[in-house]
Amino acid sequence: SAVISQKPSRDICQRGTSLTIQCQVDSQVTMMFWYRQQPGQSLTLIATANQGSEATYESGFVIDKFPISRPNLTFSTLTVSNMSPEDSSIYLCSVTDYEQYFGPGTRLTVT
Amino acid sequence: ILNVEQSPQSLHVQEGDSTNFTCSFPSSNFYALHWYRWETAKSPEALFVMTLNGDEKKKGRISATLNTKEGYSYLYIKGSQPEDSATYLCAFRWTNAGKSTFGDGTTLTVKP
């Protein structure tokens, strides 16, 4: 199993600013995944963060808006850039082995 | 685009009722089907990982079945309790690389 922590747990941000979310895993993992859940929507994969290479983004998500860092095998950050109210969501990081494990989420409200 | 659908969207039951939800997913390129329980302000909690057609898994009062040929899974809760109130998510995993497509979830409310 894996234990995942995220910071911050929640934040209220102003339009046009950026927020960096941190994800820490208690074991080394090759891939880390970033998801978001907009209000009333399902969990949607934003990107896969690979250690030592560029993140792989899903359709509809771009690096300029959601830059990701993966400096080592236990840590990753996701930045939500130039925020708008549409970015208000829960952001979760996740890792997998046989099962998939999630962090507690970061609840972001953009005003 | 992989479509994963869950029904119903929400469900309100009385304590002691038994209930079930459905998850529909593509019947091709199947790797695994995950069920999660997600309470507000907490991490999604893994309930089951199902990989084989005909799988039946059980954890306490909760059980799940899997039909990969027709692309559906059922989650059953026997004798619902107020603490079962949560959103139940299914996720279709089509590779061993960890990527999953999630359904919208079924939100269960159990009234005492």
Of residues A31 and B66, more confidently modeled: B66
Which of A92-101, B79-88, B95-104 is the most confident on average? B79-88
Tokens at residue A29, please?
């993992």
Q: Which residues of A touch B105 (CB under 8 A)?
A: 42
Tokens at residue A21, please?
């979310």
Cβ proximity of B64 and B57 under 8 Å: yes
**Residue A72: pLDDT above 70?**
yes
Confidence band, pLDDT 50/70/90 cuts, at residue A53: confident
Given an 8 Å threshold on Cβ–Cβ distance, is A100 in contact with B98?
A: yes
Q: How far is CA A83 from the centre of its chain?
A: 14
* Secondary structure letter of residue B109 according to DSSP: E
Given an 8 Å threshold on Cβ–Cβ distance, is B43 in contact with A104?
A: yes
Mutation target vs A (from B33, B99, B107; most A CBs, 10 A cutoff):
B99
Tokens at residue B74, please?
């059922």
Tell me the C-alpha to C-alpha distance, in Å, between residue A93 and each of A8, A10, B23. 12, 14, 23
The amino acid sitting at B83 is: E
Predicted local distance difference test score (pLDDT) of residue B84? 96
Tell me the C-alpha to C-alpha distance, in Å, between residue A104 and each of A27, A74, B23. 17, 16, 24
**Residue A36: pLDDT above 80?**
yes
What residues pair up with B19 in beta bridges, in sequence order? B77
Task: With CA atoms as reference, report the closest residue to B4 among B35, B27, B26.
Answer: B26
List, in order, residues 6 or more apart from A110 with CB less than 8 Å away: A12, A13, A14, A15, A83, A84, A85, A86, A87, A88
Q: How much is the average pLDDT of A51-70? A: 92
Of residues A7 and B96, more confidently modeled: A7
Cα separation, A110 vs B88, in Å, equals 27
**Residue B1: pLDDT above 70?**
no
